[in-house]
């Protein structure tokens, strides 16, 4: 996980702090708008070093109001600016996703481009809770900027339980940088026109005796099926599954549970960050992101991303497939979430399960 500067403008970034200002993007529109960046005499620099890794920062204090969204093109990078007002501080989660979906409903979101960067602002107030004399942003649901280098469009999703999500459609999986700026409070996401960062290819495939097949990265290891069924543990390094143990030895786990789908899909302790219904190879499924509350196997505050898939009953008994990855300190959780999402996209059930 890569955390970038929060609330600071180093000397080398003073120009960026003062000139993020593209004009408001289509204020009042509900469909789409194009913005034009102003002419600036001085070169604007990115707010930080580029990376394709997830960037996360927590909000603080009372929820704040999103008052403006602006785009600007700066030649070597494109900039997205979210302006905010209020006594608290907004947080963010910015990461690439292979499956952009609406918060709450889980409906697919159409985003142009060959790569999608999810941008979620956190600790955001509802428009009706905006401070007096502060107008909440009511811009276009799809924004573009003239002369953009890598950004095709910024697509608004929804404000849901304090989280306001947008999706940036890019020409490729480019490095990005994120920072918080002050006076006024802004969160800036710079999309850098640097060499694209390609995800690990899913060049290997494993067929499980449980009736499913899934692809995984070529450099990763998979269990042979001695202690637990084959094709149920995946890791970037070699590992050994200990006998009679619940130890988490691999970041990506797959298991078949003899519990009805509806029950598995609605249980689990902790805070649910997102829940989206989908289908996988024609079967009902749900993707859930949550943070544990300290019950069961995991301590409190551990992020978990899981997929729950409804399988065909066997001998009259229910069967549910669960695939997940857990954000334990020794695992690279953002990378593993990306791998899990892409693995699930390859999941098939050749045995008719």
Let me know: does 283 contact 265? Beta carbons within 8 Å: no
Domain 204-344 has CATH 3.40.1000: yes
- The pLDDT of residue 171 is 95
- The pLDDT of residue 20 is 59
Let me know: does 145 contact 36? Beta carbons within 8 Å: yes
Tell me the three-class secondary structure of 138-150, residue by residue.
Answer: CCCCEEEECCCCC
- The pLDDT of residue 192 is 96
Average pLDDT, 10 consecutive residues per value, the chain (353 residues): 37 41 38 48 76 88 95 95 95 87 81 94 92 89 94 94 94 95 95 89 92 94 89 93 85 94 84 84 91 79 92 85 92 87 92 61
E strand or H helix that includes residue 251? none
- The pLDDT of residue 115 is 93
- Is this prediction's pTM over 0.85? no
- The pLDDT of residue 63 is 95
For the chain, the domains span 11-192, 204-344
Token look-up 């995991």 returns: 298
Let me know: does 73 contact 148? Beta carbons within 8 Å: yes
Q: Using CA atoms, how far apart are residues 135 and 127, in angstroms rounded to an integer?
A: 8
Top CATH class, 11-192: mainly beta
Please indicate whether the domains covering 11-192 and 204-344 agree at the CATH topology level. Answer: no
């Amino acid at each position: 996980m890569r955390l970038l500067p929060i609330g600071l403008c180093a000397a080398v970034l003073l120009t960026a702090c003062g000139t993020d200002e593209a004009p408001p993007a289509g204020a009042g529109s509900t469909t789409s708008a194009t913005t034009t960046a102003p002419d600036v005499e001085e070169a604007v620099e990115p707010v930080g070093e580029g990376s394709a890794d997830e960037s996360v920062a927590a909000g603080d204090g009372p929820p704040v109001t999103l008052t403006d969204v602006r785009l600007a093109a700066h030649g070597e990078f494109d900039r997205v600016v979210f302006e905010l007002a209020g006594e608290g501080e907004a947080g963010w989660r910015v990461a690439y996703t292979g499956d952009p979906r609406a918060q709450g409903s889980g409906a697919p979101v159409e985003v142009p481009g060959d790569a999608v960067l999810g941008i979620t602002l956190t600790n955001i107030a509802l428009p009706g809770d905006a401070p007096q004399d502060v107008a909440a942003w009511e811009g276009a649901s799809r924004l573009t900027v003239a002369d953009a280098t890598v950004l095709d469009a910024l697509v608004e999703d929804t404000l849901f339980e304090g989280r306001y999500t947008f999706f940036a459609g890019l020409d490729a999986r480019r490095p990005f940088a994120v920072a918080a700026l002050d006076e006024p409070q802004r969160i800036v996401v710079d999309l850098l026109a640097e060499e694209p960062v390609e995800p690990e290819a899913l060049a290997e495939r494993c067929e499980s005796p449980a009736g499913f097949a899934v692809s995984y990265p070529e450099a990763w290891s998979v269990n042979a099926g001695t202690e637990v069924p084959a094709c149920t543990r995946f890791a970037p390094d070699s590992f050994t599954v200990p006998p009679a143990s619940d130890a988490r030895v691999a970041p990506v786990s797959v298991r078949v549970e003899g519990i009805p789908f509806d029950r598995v899909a609605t249980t689990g302790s902790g805070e649910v960050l997102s829940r989206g219904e989908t289908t996988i190879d024609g079967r009902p499924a749900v993707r859930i992101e949550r943070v544990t509350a300290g019950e069961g196997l995991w301590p409190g505050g551990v992020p978990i991303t899981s997929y729950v898939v409804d399988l065909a009953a066997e001998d009259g008994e229910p069967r549910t497939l669960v695939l997940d990855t857990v954000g334990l300190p020794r695992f690279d959780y953002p990378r593993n979430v990306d791998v899990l999402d892409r693995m699930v996209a390859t999941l098939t059930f050749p045995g008719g399960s």
